[in-house]
C-alpha cells in the first residue's frame, strides 16, 4: 500500500490553490510522483493517487532525490501523450523526457481550471515535448529557478503570461507572444502570431534569446520603465554574439508591428573584443507593412563586455519594413555612464544603429608614449652605431 506524503502534498496543494484563484475544487485531485515502479507517467502505480494523470488533474513533483525513477512519456503512450491540467515542481532537478521520434508529449488541458506550470527550487527543471491547449495558460518560475521547455515536440503552444523572478527558456515554437510580468524570458524558437491586442514586458523583467517573433497582424510589445530587451542566447552575459529578430510577415494588407522602448527601459547588448555584438533585428515582408522599433528619448543603451575601440558595433539592424523612431537618451558600458563624442559615437542609419567606442585619453597617451619610447630607442641605437663607426 502506498503511503501519502502528507506534508509535501499539503504544500503542493496550497501552491495549486493559490495559483488557480481558488478554483481548486474544479480539479478532480492532485497527485504526487513517487516513481517507484518505472518512468512511465501514464502508469498509475507511479503516483500517490492511484487515479494517475488526467485532464483535470494537477501533477506534483517534490524531491527528485527521493524517487527511483524520473518521469517520461514513452514511445507507445496512449495518443502519444500524458494529459494533465497543471504541473507543479516544488524542487529543482526534474527532467520530464519525451520521445522525439514518436512525438510523445505532455498535453496541458483547460478543464475548468486555467492551466498553469509552477517551477520552484534553486536550479533547473526541464520539460521535453509539451502541447499547451489553452492560450490562457500561465507559467511561474521561482527565485533562482530555471524552467527549460525543450523542442522535442512541435505542436500547439500558447501561453498568456510568465511570472516569478526566475527564468523561463523556451526552445520550441510558439503560437503567440505572452506578457512577461517578472523575471527573464529567453526565447530561442519561432513564434507565429496572428492577431493579439498588445503585450507588456514589465519593470524588472527581461526578454532575450535568439528566436524570431513573427507577427501577421497589428500588435505592440511594450517595454515598460525598468524592463530590458536583451538579444542573445543568455539575454545578458552571453559568451558569443546572438541576434533576436522581429518580423512583420503580413502581405496584402497594412498591419503595424511595434516594439516600444518606453522611458527608463533598456536595450542590453553584449559586445566582444573581435568587434561582434548582440543585435536586435527588424524586418519581414515589405508590402504595405511596418516593423517599427520605437525608442523613447529616455531609453538606455547598455553595453557589456570587453570593448574593441574604434570599431562600429551594430546593436540594431533594419531590412524590408524594418525602421526606427527616436534615439537613446544615454549609453553605458559595464554599468558606467558614457559621454557622447568623448567616450563613444552613435550613428542612426536606415539600415542600422551602430555604436563606436572611443579610447580614453589615458589609453591614447600610453599608446603615444609607447611609440615615443620606441622612437627614442631607435635614435639612441643609431647614435651608438655612428659613434662606434667613428671610433673604429
Cell of 150: 525543450
Which of 197, 190, 219 is closest to 291 using CA atoms?
A: 219
User: Tens digit of pLDDT for each residue in 174-184?
Assistant: 888 889 999 99
Average pLDDT along the chain:
87
Instruction: Please give the share of the chain, as a percent, with pLDDT higher than 90.
Output: 67
253, burial (CB in 10 Å: exposed 0-12, middle 13-18, buried 19+): exposed
pLDDT of 391 reads 55
CA distance 320 to 322: 5
Neighbours of 108 (CB within 10 A): 25
Residue with more model confidence, 185 or 111: 185
Mean pLDDT, residues 269-279: 96
Q: Compute CA distances 176 → 130, 133, 137, 239, 321, whole Å.
A: 15, 12, 12, 29, 21
**Residue pair 155/147 in contact by the 8 Å Cβ criterion:** no
Q: Measured on CA atoms in the order 121, 122, 128, 132, is the torsion positive or negative?
A: positive
| pLDDT at site 18 | 44
User: Which helix (H) or strand (E) is 139 found in, with range?
Assistant: strand 138-141
pLDDT, tens digit, for every residue of 13-68? 444 444 434 444 478 999 999 999 999 999 999 999 999 999 999 999 999 999 99
Residue 253, pLDDT score: 78
Q: pLDDT tens, 304-342?
A: 999 999 999 999 999 999 999 999 999 999 999 999 999
Q: Is the pLDDT of residue 371 over 90?
A: no
pTM reported for the whole predicted model:
0.86
Average pLDDT over residues 369-378: 53
DSSP string, 51-84: T---TTEEEEE--GGG-SS--EE-TT-GGGEEEE
Amino acid at each position: 500500500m502506498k503511503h501519502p506524503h502528507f506534508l509535501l502534498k499539503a504544500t503542493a496543494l496550497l501552491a495549486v490553490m493559490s495559483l488557480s484563484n481558488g478554483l481548486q475544487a474544479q480539479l478532480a485531485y492532485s497527485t504526487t510522483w513517487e516513481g517507484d515502479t518505472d518512468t512511465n507517467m501514464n502508469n498509475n502505480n507511479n503516483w500517490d493517487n492511484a487515479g494517475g494523470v488526467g485532464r483535470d488533474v494537477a501533477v506534483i513533483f517534490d524531491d527528485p532525490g527521493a524517487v527511483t525513477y524520473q518521469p517520461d512519456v514513452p514511445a507507445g503512450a496512449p495518443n502519444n501523450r500524458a494529459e494533465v491540467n497543471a504541473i507543479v515542481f516544488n524542487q529543482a532537478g526534474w527532467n520530464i523526457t519525451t520521445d522525439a521520434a514518436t512525438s510523445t508529449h505532455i498535453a496541458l488541458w483547460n478543464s475548468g481550471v486555467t492551466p498553469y506550470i509552477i517551477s520552484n527550487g534553486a536550479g533547473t527543471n526541464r520539460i521535453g515535448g509539451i502541447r499547451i491547449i489553452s492560450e490562457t495558460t500561465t507559467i511561474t518560475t521561482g527565485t533562482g529557478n530555471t524552467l527549460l521547455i525543450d523542442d522535442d515536440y512541435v505542436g500547439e503552444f500558447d501561453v498568456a503570461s510568465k511570472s516569478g523572478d526566475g527564468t523561463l527558456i523556451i526552445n520550441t515554437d510558439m503560437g503567440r507572444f505572452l506578457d512577461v510580468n517578472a523575471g527573464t524570458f529567453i526565447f530561442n524558437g519561432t513564434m507565429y502570431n496572428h492577431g493579439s491586442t498588445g503585450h507588456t514586458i514589465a519593470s524588472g523583467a527581461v526578454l532575450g534569446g535568439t528566436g524570431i517573433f513573427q507577427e501577421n497582424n497589428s500588435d505592440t510589445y511594450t517595454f515598460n520603465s525598468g524592463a530590458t530587451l536583451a538579444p542573445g542566447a543568455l539575454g545578458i552575459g552571453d559568451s558569443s554574439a546572438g541576434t533576436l529578430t522581429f518580423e512583420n510577415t503580413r502581405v496584402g494588407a497594412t498591419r503595424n508591428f511595434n516594439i516600444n522602448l518606453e522611458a527608463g527601459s533598456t536595450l542590453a547588448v553584449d559586445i566582444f573584443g573581435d568587434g561582434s555584438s548582440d543585435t536586435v533585428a527588424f524586418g519581414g515582408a515589405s508590402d504595405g507593412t511596418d516593423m517599427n522599433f520605437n525608442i523613447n528619448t529616455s531609453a538606455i543603451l547598455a553595453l557589456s563586455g570587453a570593448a574593441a575601440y574604434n570599431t562600429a558595433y551594430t546593436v540594431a539592424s533594419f531590412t524590408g519594413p524594418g525602421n526606427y523612431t527616436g534615439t537613446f537618451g544615454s549609453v553605458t558600458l559595464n554599468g558606467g555612464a558614457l559621454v557622447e563624442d568623448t567616450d563613444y559615437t552613435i550613428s542612426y542609419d536606415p539600415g542600422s544603429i551602430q555604436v563606436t567606442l572611443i579610447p580614453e585619453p589615458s589609453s591614447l597617451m600610453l599608446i603615444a608614449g609607447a611609440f615615443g619610447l620606441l622612437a627614442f630607442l631607435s635614435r639612441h641605437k643609431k647614435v651608438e652605431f655612428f659613434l662606434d663607426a667613428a671610433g673604429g
